[in-house]
Amino acid sequence: MVKSELLQALSAKLPELQARDVETALNCLLKQMADALAQGERIEIRGFGSFDLRRRLAKLGRNPKTGGAVNLAATVVVHFKPGKEMRDRVNAAREKCGIME
């Protein structure tokens, strides 16, 4: 779901709020989450999942076009781990999405 669809869904569930108020609240929530991750904090949303940081060490990689060696710097990436309720819900809907294994 893209941000505009999320805003429409929230506005439909909360008709007493104006669309700009819903957008402000959503933007504030996302900014707070990004700020917490930038400070190295872990975020857990019960029933949805958790966000934390993973450190990737520097390594030697390959340029796929030329095959030449490339030094890749150490980096920090955001990692999402879905909660049990989210995993169960997604797995139950796999056939609707056309995902087969």
Residue 41 confidence (pLDDT): 96
- Assess whether pLDDT exceeds 70 at residue 100: no
* CATH number of the domain within which 29 lies: 4.10.520.10
* Model pLDDT for residues 22-60, shown as the tens digit of each residue: 888 889 999 999 999 999 999 999 989 999 999 999 999
What is the count of structural domains for the chain? 1
- Sign of dihedral through CA atoms 84, 90, 94, 96? positive
43 close to 13: Cβ distance less than 8 angstroms: no
Residue 49 belongs to domain spanning:
3-97
* Model pLDDT for residues 69-96, shown as the tens digit of each residue: 999 999 999 999 999 999 988 888 877 7
